[in-house]
A and B are shown apart, each in its own frame.
Chain A
Amino acid sequence: MTPTIVATVLIGGILTGCVYALMALGLSVIFGVIRVVNFAHGEMMAVAMYAAVFLFAAFGLDPLHALPLVAAGLFAFGYALQRRLVEPFVRRPEHEQFILLLAVGVILTNGALILFGPEARGIMTDYAFDSYAVGDIIIDKTKTIAAIAAIIAAAGLLGFFRFARTGKAIRACADNLIGAEVIGLDVKRLYTLTFAVGTACVGVAGTLLAMIIEVTPALGPELTLLAFVIVIVGGLGSMPGAIFGGVLIGVSEALAGLLIVPSMKSMLSFALLIVILVLRPEGLLGRRPS
C-alpha cells in the first residue's frame, strides 16, 4: 500500500463524503427546526436516485441536468408530505412520529421494489470512467463533479438560512417557537417549507449519489442509518456538524474499504459512532445540552 493509493482513496472518500454531507444536512435541518426525525430520509434519497436513473435511462438526461428537476420534485414531495401527513404529528409523542415516518419509508422502499425490481441500477455517463491525475494521485471525475455540486448546494442552503428573510424566520422558529408565534410568523407554513427544503437537499444529494453508486430498494434504509450516524457523529441539529460528519464518514468508509475489505465499510462508521456516543454524546460539533 503506497502513500499514493492512500491519498487516492482518501480523496475519493472526501468527495463522496461531500454528497453524504448534503444528505445529512437535510436531516439536520428538519430535525433542528421541526424537531421531527425523518426516519424515511434514506428512502427519500433512494427515490431521488431512482428518479435520476429513470431520467437518464428514459430521456438520456445527464444527472447534472436532472438535478433541478429531481430537487423540485422532492421539494414538492416533502411539502405535500409535511402538509398532509407529518404536520398533525408535530406535537405528538416521538414514538408516533417514528412509526409514521417508518411507514413512509417502508412504502417508498416497496414502491421502488415494485416499480424497478430488486436489481441494482446505475447511471453510466460517457465520462463515467474519466479521471484527473494529480501527480500519481488519481481523482475520479464523476465524484469530483458530484462533490462540487454538493458543496454549491450546501453553500446555497447555508446562505439561505443566513441571508434570506424566510431563512431567518425559519431559524427564529427553531430558536424560540413562542416568540415566532408572538410576532405573527406563520409557523405551519415555515415548517412545511423547512421539511420541503430538507427533502430537496435529499433530491440533490440523491441525484449526485446516483452518479457514484448504484441504487437498489434496500439502499434506502441503509442510507437512513448512514444519515443518522453522520448527524450523531457531527452533532444533532448542527449544520456544520452534519457537513463535517458527512465528510468524516465518507473518509472512514473509504479507509475501511482500503484497510479491511470494502464490504466492511460501514463497520468503521458504526465503530466511530459508538466511540462518539461514549466520549462525546452531543457529537463533535454539537452543543452540550445545558
Chain B
Amino acid sequence: MLKVANLSLAYGDAQALDDVSFEVAEGEIVALVGANGAGKSSLIRAIAGMERPAAGTITYRGTEITGWPSHKVCEIGIGQVAEGRQVFPSLTVLENLELGAMLRRARAGEARNLDRVYTLFPRLAERRGQAAGTLSGGEQQMLAIGRCLMGEPELIMFDEPSLGLAPTIVQEVLKTIRQLNADGLSVVLVEQNVALSLKIAGHGYVLENGRMAMTGSGADLLNDDRVRQAYLGL
C-alpha cells in the first residue's frame, strides 16, 4: 500500500533520515519504534509531504508521491494525527472537524463522517461549540483523531498519540486505533509505550539515529533481546 524506498532527509547539515526503507501493507498496523530524535516524526512528516526528502522515493498504491505538497498527499488518502495534536485552539470543535472535511475526497461523506466521529467520541459532540483550546489533553487528542477521520483517509499515521495523557486515556486511544484498524484503516503507529504498540502491530520497524536498524513481526521484535533491552527496559 505504502512503500518508502531509500529515503534520506536532512535539516541543513543535520541528517535526520539516512537510506530508510519502510512498508505498510493494506489493513495492517505497523509500529515505528525508536528513541527520541531517532527520526520517527521526520519519516512521518516526509511521507505527509511536510518535509522534502533529499533522496529516495515514496510510493502509495503504485503512485509515486515523493515531493508532493501535503494537501495532495492528504487528498490521495494518507491522513496524519500529528505529534502534539495540532488542533486549532481558537476554533470550535465543530469547526475543527469541518476543516478536516475540506478535502475534495471527503466532501460528499461529510455528514456521515461527522456522525461517525460523534459516535466514536461522544465527548466531542457534547463540546462541539467549545473552542478547541479549552479542551483537556485527552479530548484534544480525540479531536485530532476525529478531524483526521473527517478527511476519509485509508491510512493514518499516528505520531505519539498518547504523549502526556493519563494512563486510562492511553488505553482508550489505543483501543480506538485498534477499532479503526478493525474497520479497515491501515495504521502507522509511533507510540511511547513500545510494548503495547508492538503487541497490536503486525509489523514493526526500529529506527536508530535516522537508519532502519531492525524490522520484523510485532511478536518477533517483542521477543528480541536488543529491543527488550533498549526499548522495553527489560
A residues neighboring B (CB under 8 Å) = 165, 168-169, 171-172, 175-176, 178-188
Q: How far is the CB of B185 from chain A (nearest CB, A)?
A: 16
Q: How far is the CB of B156 from chain A (nearest CB, A)?
A: 11
Q: Would A175 and B102 count as touching, CB distance under 8 A?
A: no
Q: How far is the CB of A210 from chain B (nearest CB, A)?
A: 36
Per-residue CB contact flags for chain B residues 73-114 toward chain A (1 = under 8 Å, else 0) read: 111000010101011111100011011101100000000000
Q: Would A179 and B82 count as touching, CB distance under 8 A?
A: yes
Tally of contact residues, B, Cβ under 8 A: 28
List the A residue with the shortest CB-CB distance to B86: A179
With the chains together, A180 CA to B95 CA distance in Å?
13
Q: Would B86 and A185 count as touching, CB distance under 8 A?
A: no
Q: How far is the CB of B225 from chain A (nearest CB, A)?
A: 37
Given A169-B99, A172-B99, A176-B87: A183 touches B50 (CB 8 Å cut-off):
no
List the A residue with the shortest CB-CB distance to B106: A184
List the B residue with the shortest CB-CB distance to A179: B86
Within 8 A of A (CB), among B48-89: 48, 50, 69-75, 80, 82, 84, 86-89
List the A residue with the shortest CB-CB distance to B107: A165
Assess whether B147 is interfacial by the CB under 8 Å rule: yes
Contact count A vs B, C-beta below 8 Å:
68
Q: Which residue among A165, A181, A183, A187 has the maximum number of chain B CB atoms within 10 Å of its CB?
A: A183
Q: How far is the CB of B217 from chain A (nearest CB, A)?
A: 30
Q: Would A182 and B103 count as touching, CB distance under 8 A?
A: no
Assess whether B29 is interfacial by the CB under 8 Å rule: no
Assess whether B151 is interfacial by the CB under 8 Å rule: yes
Given A184-B71, A184-B73: A168 touches B98 (CB 8 Å cut-off):
yes
Q: Would A171 and B82 count as touching, CB distance under 8 A?
A: no
Q: Would B88 and A172 count as touching, CB distance under 8 A?
A: yes
Given A176-B86, A178-B82: A183 touches B100 (CB 8 Å cut-off):
yes
List the B residue with the shortest CB-CB distance to A182: B82
Q: Would B91 and A168 count as touching, CB distance under 8 A?
A: yes
Assess whether B7 is interfacial by the CB under 8 Å rule: no
Q: Would A184 and B151 count as touching, CB distance under 8 A?
A: yes
Q: How far is the CB of B134 from chain A (nearest CB, A)?
A: 14
Q: Which residues of B contact A172 (CB under 8 A)?
A: 88, 91, 95-96, 99
With the chains together, A186 CA to B72 CA distance in Å?
8
Q: Which residues of B contact A185 (CB under 8 A)?
A: 71, 99, 102
Chain A to chain B contacts (Cβ below 8 Å), 11 pairs:
A168-B99, A169-B99, A172-B88, A172-B96, A176-B88, A176-B89, A179-B82, A180-B88, A184-B102, A186-B71, A187-B71
With the chains together, A171 CA to B89 CA distance in Å?
11
With the chains together, A185 CA to B102 CA distance in Å?
7
List the B residue with the shortest CB-CB distance to A178: B86
Q: How far is the CB of B72 from chain A (nearest CB, A)?
A: 8
Q: Would A181 and B50 count as touching, CB distance under 8 A?
A: yes
Assess whether B148 is interfacial by the CB under 8 Å rule: yes
With the chains together, A77 CA to B71 CA distance in Å?
25
Our pick among B48, B89, B102 for the contact of A182 (Cβ within 8 Å) is B48
Q: Would A181 and B91 count as touching, CB distance under 8 A?
A: no
Q: Would A169 and B87 count as touching, CB distance under 8 A?
A: no
Q: Would A182 and B86 count as touching, CB distance under 8 A?
A: yes
